[in-house]
Structure 1
Amino acid sequence: MASSSRAGTSGVTRKLVRLAVAVVLVAVLYTGGWFYAASWLKDTLDRQLAASAQSLHSASCRNLSVRGFPFRIGLFCDAVDIDDRPTGLSATFGALRSAAQVYRPGHAVIELDGPAQVRVTPDLVFDADWDLLRASGTAWTNGLDRASVAYDGLKGRLNVPSEAVSLGLTAAHGEKHIRQSGDALDVAASFDALSLDLGDRVLPPLNVSADMTIADAATWISAEGPPAGAPLGANVELRRLSLDLGDGKVATLSGPLKVGDDGYLSGTLDLDIAGITVWRDRISEAFPEIAATAAQVAQAVEGLSKGGDRAVVKLNVQDGTVYLGLFPIAFIPPI
């Protein structure tokens, strides 16, 4: 009996020892594989970034490192610089942190610090900073499938001295989303408490959101990339563009649009506006130079609403000019 008991115990012990050895072996192999992959990734990126410095499209990631062991892998750098010489565009950003799960490398999360500056020759400069900016994306060998960006406490200013333009903006929160949807590209964006500083006046904050689909544009975020001249020639289904002043005073636009080869928009839009008199007063206060036009348009819309404070009207857009009936009421600059 004793001999049989010792034999059974010995068998269990051997199994536990084998299991422990197997666990240790797997851990060692995994650790070695992770650090090998991290080293290969860093070396590859270092070479590519160094090579880009000699090309027309360059990028740099200062003090690049790869971290995240054991279950994540991600890139970290102290600052990011981009220089696209053919377009005259350059940009600088603060520290970058990224991470992807080892078992799901195609999905990454990125945090980017400010301040940032984007410059376009000859004299366009956009300076921005934020409290938090986080992005995520899903990509495979055929390119990006979807991506999102969210930020809090955005502050920025666009300066173009040659055009006498100085525009500041702030937003409490904002989001942008893009995704492939069959052959089309879905795009959505929103701004909470968006306020614009025009230099001589500051517009009161409002909430803005947009949701649209661009036909035959899925390849714009794939490995193929957008065609030359995009978005010229694109067909857009504007599902909803909403401007919200609060207290139910909301104006929304929806309908099909086409971007002409010259960048001007054409199409037909439905305008659903609530709080006609409030919108008239806000526009008149912000842009006193067009107060008379705002009053005339409000009067026409009120007539279509049969005296109410809400109306649904049809707008025609022809080469950037917006018509209410036969009367031009606004102009949209080319894209």
Structure 2
Amino acid sequence: MEGERCVHRGASMSRGSAMKRTIRWGLWAIVAVAILWTGVWFGARWWLGDTLHKSIADLSARNGIIVDCAGEKIGGWPFELTVNCGDGLTVALPDGGKFTTAGAHGKGSAFNPRQLDFRFEAPTSYTAPDGRRLALSANELAASVGLANGLANRLALTTRDLTATGPLAGATEGKLTIGRGELLLARAAERPKDADIAATLDGFGVAVGDTALMPLPIRLTLAATLAEADMATAGPAALAGWQAAGGKLTLHRLAAELGGATLTLTGEGTVSETGLVEAEGQVTGRDLNALAVAAAAGGRSLTPEIAGLVMAFVFMGSAADDGGRSIGLKVTDGVVSANGREIARLAPLF
């Protein structure tokens, strides 16, 4: 009996030692994984910081756009990557305009450091080159930045219930509203010098003082490609070089929808050696009669400008394949013509 108790005691001690070894090895494994993951996280953090700083420097060198993230802090351990501009974000444009916000907070995943989603803190404003300040307010103002090959290659902006107010020429108050807006700028690997642009603005409206320039909110959609994008966005002084490099803007589709009517513009444009716009395209109006009906139903009337536009399609437009009315537009040496008739002259861009 005494021998059996010794055997059982020995077996229990053996099992206890084995369990302790298992726990000890488990703890060491957890520590090793934690140390390894910390190394991976710090590597991702370094890559993110290096890529952002290179992207900002590249943006300044190529486009003349200066980004200042005041009070920058990169953190988020253990599973996130965060970039905080706690003392404000400023984006200075080459034409002298400036976008400022009280703070910007970006968040991404340590498992995918190639995308950061930013939200901006109020107050937010845009200062025009002539010093006029537009105050911006929105229920949502956010951006998503995509990173690849050591640089930023995609920017998506989203806003909801955006209002921009500020003084116009003559001290009149202007107001711009957007119910929901999205803008996407992206570069394709096979066309690194070009930028694809897509945008949607729902509930777009403009007012001067107490007068709305449009009888109904407009939905705008845009799909375009900008060749030699870096030079095109570097300001008016760079347009001569942009033209010489073969720069052009291709409108795949620019559409305005209001009150059941639709205006669609397609075409291409560039500038001449003397800085005058050169472009050719087609604008098509569909269901234009619905405009007046929708405006009347809302207790409003068409502005003279929109009424004149409708009449232009009636008298100058030709029948389109889908039942709309189409007008051919052409700009040669700054002279704008519609179906061969001169309607305006544009000043040189440089």
Aligned residues: 314
Are residue 191 (structure 1) and residue 201 (structure 2) matched?
yes
Q: Larger C-alpha radius of gyration, 1 or 2?
A: 2
Contact 1:235 1:256 in 2 (8 A): yes
Query: Match of 2:256?
Result: 243
Contact 1:81 1:90 in 2 (8 A): no
> Which whole-Å CA distance do the structure 1 matches of 2:19 and 2:231 have between them?
60
Query: Match of 1:288?
Result: 304
The structural deviation recorded for 1:72 is: 0.6
1:94 aligned counterpart, secondary structure: strand
> Which whole-Å CA distance do the structure 1 matches of 2:80 and 2:310 have between them?
59
Query: Match of 2:70?
Result: 61
**Pair 333,189 (structure 1): closer, same or farther in 2 beyond 3 Å:** farther
Contact 1:65 1:75 in 2 (8 A): yes
Runs of 4+ in 1 over 6 A off after TM superposition: 1-9, 35-42, 331-335
1:229 aligned counterpart, secondary structure: helix
Are residue 299 (structure 1) and residue 311 (structure 2) matched?
no
> Which whole-Å CA distance do the structure 2 matches of 1:137 and 1:198 have between them?
34
1:151-195 Cα deviation digits (max 9, x unpaired): 11100025344x767532101100000111222210111100101
The structural deviation recorded for 1:88 is: 3.9
> Which whole-Å CA distance do the structure 2 matches of 1:269 and 1:197 have between them?
29
1:280-322 Cα deviation digits (max 9, x unpaired): 897x95542685x5465133245x229x972234222334544
> Which whole-Å CA distance do the structure 1 matches of 2:277 and 2:289 have between them?
28
User: What is the TM-score normalised by the length of structure 2?
Assistant: 0.72
**Pair 134,238 (structure 1): closer, same or farther in 2 beyond 3 Å:** same
> Which whole-Å CA distance do the structure 2 matches of 1:245 and 1:279 have between them?
7
Query: Match of 2:121?
Result: 113
Query: Match of 1:27?
Result: 34
Contact 2:41 2:77 in 1 (8 A): yes
> Which whole-Å CA distance do the structure 1 matches of 2:344 and 2:44 have between them?
56
User: What is the TM-score normalised by the length of structure 1?
Assistant: 0.75
Instruction: Point out where structure 2 has 5 or more consecutive residues left out of the alignment.
Output: 1-6, 57-64
Residue among 149, 164, 167 paired with 2:157: 149
Query: Match of 2:223?
Result: 211
Q: Tell me the C-alpha RMSD between the 2 structures.
A: 4.2
> Which whole-Å CA distance do the structure 2 matches of 1:158 and 1:84 have between them?
19
2:238 aligned counterpart, secondary structure: coil
The structural deviation recorded for 1:271 is: 1.9
1:177-225 Cα deviation digits (max 9, x unpaired): 01112222101111001011122521221100111012243x569xxx9
**Pair 243,160 (structure 1): closer, same or farther in 2 beyond 3 Å:** same
Contact 2:201 2:220 in 1 (8 A): yes
2:122 aligned counterpart, secondary structure: coil
**Pair 263,139 (structure 1): closer, same or farther in 2 beyond 3 Å:** farther
Are residue 323 (structure 1) and residue 337 (structure 2) matched?
yes
Are residue 178 (structure 1) and residue 185 (structure 2) matched?
yes
The structural deviation recorded for 1:278 is: 4.4
The structural deviation recorded for 1:147 is: 1.5
**Pair 198,330 (structure 1): closer, same or farther in 2 beyond 3 Å:** farther
Query: Match of 1:53?
Result: none
> Which whole-Å CA distance do the structure 2 matches of 1:86 and 1:207 have between them?
29
> Which whole-Å CA distance do the structure 1 matches of 2:329 and 2:348 have between them?
18
> Which whole-Å CA distance do the structure 1 matches of 2:90 and 2:46 have between them?
24
Query: Match of 1:52?
Result: none
> Which whole-Å CA distance do the structure 1 matches of 2:131 and 2:156 have between them?
30
The structural deviation recorded for 1:270 is: 2.0
1:156 aligned counterpart, secondary structure: strand
> Which whole-Å CA distance do the structure 2 matches of 1:317 and 1:41 have between them?
45
> Which whole-Å CA distance do the structure 2 matches of 1:299 and 1:41 have between them?
56
Query: Match of 2:60?
Result: none
Q: Map 1:34-113; keep pairs closer than 5 Å.
A: 59-62=68-71, 64-82=72-90, 84=92, 88-113=96-121
The structural deviation recorded for 1:325 is: 1.5
> Which whole-Å CA distance do the structure 1 matches of 2:66 and 2:198 have between them?
28
> Which whole-Å CA distance do the structure 2 matches of 1:278 and 1:104 have between them?
48
Contact 1:154 1:171 in 2 (8 A): yes
The structural deviation recorded for 1:240 is: 0.3
> Which whole-Å CA distance do the structure 2 matches of 1:275 and 1:86 have between them?
41
1:70 aligned counterpart, secondary structure: coil
1:112-160 Cα deviation digits (max 9, x unpaired): 1233222244333222111111211112454221121111110002534
